[in-house]
């Protein structure tokens, strides 16, 4: 009998499968389709200090082996997430969830993190530093080691729960950012976020989405995810939540061999709402096929 349990900074999951933030709403929306307690955890929709309407439409475009989105962090704001969304989730999901937090200033991150840290339902905080820093000319926090470290340190100062920094792949050297986060006190790393992409319509001769460019996700980016997880595992030794184009149980095992302790499933949920459940169900048989008895023993096995 194979053992699918994994641990993230003291938090034990029945299996490593976590629907990625932005592809699974606040979780309870999927409870009508299947028992979401089959999942290891759920990464909640990206939450900001204030409510956000998001970017203008159209904001999603399909492309070969993936999609481009520029939703713009549409969410009701941290206070409503706590008062309205988490109680709905608690009725149908009986495990700790992952809070995904975004911000446009360090204070934004601190306020939202401090509030969500107090919630019993939240097992760990995933801090998305791919947002533009409004106080620094719009450059993403996650593209500069000093900015990444500043956010990490500020969030760690107001939280007790594990803090995982979600990194942008749109950088020259991912290890430099990851090491800066580790030195500033990060408990773990989540990667990769979306690559930057764009589509142009031949009919209109204009960009397909209103924001012109957006995040490119889907199976086409999987090799980039494997490479970056491998590099960050070598550079930091921190626990990693790996993601980026995961479609199957085989993909999960590959990312874990690269160094991931758990794996988020993103764009696949938008194509098939049952994608994460199917991966959970296929995992034991796939482990047996390749001779793996315990997932924790294979983390980083490719190094």
- Provide the β-strand partners of residue 294: 3
- Beta pairing, strands 214-217 & 66-69: antiparallel
State residue 139's pLDDT score.
64
Q: Give the pLDDT mean for 258-285.
A: 97
pLDDT score, position 173: 97
Domain 6-298 has CATH 3.20.20.70: yes
Question: What average pLDDT does range 192-218 have in this prediction?
Answer: 94
Which residue in the list 11, 71, 131, 179 is annotated as catalytic? 131
| Per-domain residue ranges of the chain | 6-298
What is the pLDDT at residue 72? 86
Strand ranges across the sheet with 163-166: 17-19, 262-265, 240-242, 188-191, 163-166, 122-128, 97-101
Q: Could you read off the pLDDT of 44-100 as tens digits, one per residue? A: 999 999 999 988 899 999 998 999 998 888 999 999 999 999 999 999 999 999 999
Strand pairing of 6-8 and 11-13? Answer: antiparallel
What tens digit of pLDDT does each residue of 126-181 get? Answer: 999 987 665 665 568 999 999 999 999 999 999 999 999 999 999 999 999 999 99
Residue 132 or 207, more confident: 207
Residue 133: per-residue pLDDT:
63
DSSP 133-159: -GGGTT-BGGGSHHHHHHHHHHHHTT-
Q: CB neighbours (10 Å) of residue 101?
A: 32
The yes-or-no answer on residue 131 being catalytic is yes
Q: What is the pLDDT of residue 186?
A: 98
pLDDT, position 140: 84
pLDDT value at residue 41: 98
pTM, full prediction: 0.96
pLDDT (average), residues 198-206: 95
pLDDT tens readout for residues 1-20 = 999 999 999 999 999 999 99
Look at 242 and 71; give whichever has higher pLDDT.
Answer: 242
Query: What is the predicted pLDDT for the residue at 125?
Result: 98
Query: Model confidence over 208-239: pLDDT tens digits?
Result: 999 899 899 999 999 999 999 999 999 999 99
């Amino acid at each position: 009998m194979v053992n699918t349990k994994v641990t993230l900074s003291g938090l034990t999951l029945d299996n490593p499968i976590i629907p990625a933030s932005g592809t699974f709403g606040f979780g309870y929306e999927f409870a009508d389709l299947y028992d979401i307690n089959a999942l290891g955890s759920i990464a909640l929709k990206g939450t900001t200090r204030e409510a956000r309407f998001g970017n203008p439409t159209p904001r999603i475009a399909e492309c070969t082996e993936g999609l481009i989105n520029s939703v713009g962090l549409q969410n009701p704001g941290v206070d409503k997430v706590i008062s309205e969304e988490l109680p709905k989730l608690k009725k149908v999901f009986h495990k700790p969830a992952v809070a995904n937090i975004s911000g446009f200033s360090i204070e934004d991150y601190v306020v939202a993190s401090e509030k969500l840290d107090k919630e019993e339902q939240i097992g760990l905080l995933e801090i998305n530093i791919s947002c533009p820093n409004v106080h620094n000319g719009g450059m993403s926090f996650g593209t500069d080691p000093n900015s990444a470290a500043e956010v990490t340190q500020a969030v760690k100062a107001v939280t007790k729960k594990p803090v995982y920094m979600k990194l942008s792949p749109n950088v020259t050297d991912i290890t430099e950012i990851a090491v800066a986060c580790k030195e500033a006190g990060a408990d773990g790393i989540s990667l990769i976020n979306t690559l930057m992409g764009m589509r142009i319509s031949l009919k209109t001769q204009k960009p397909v989405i209103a924001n012109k460019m957006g995040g490119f996700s889907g199976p086409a980016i999987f090799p980039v995810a494997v490479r970056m997880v491998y590099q960050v595992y070598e550079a930091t030794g921190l626990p990693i939540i790996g993601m980026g184009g995961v479609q199957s149980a085989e993909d999960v095992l590959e990312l874990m061999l690269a160094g991931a302790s758990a794996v988020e499933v993103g764009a696949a949920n938008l194509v098939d709402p049952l994608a994460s459940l199917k991966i959970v169900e296929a995992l034991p048989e796939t482990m047996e096929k390749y001779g793996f008895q315990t997932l924790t023993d294979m983390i980083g096995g490719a190094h």
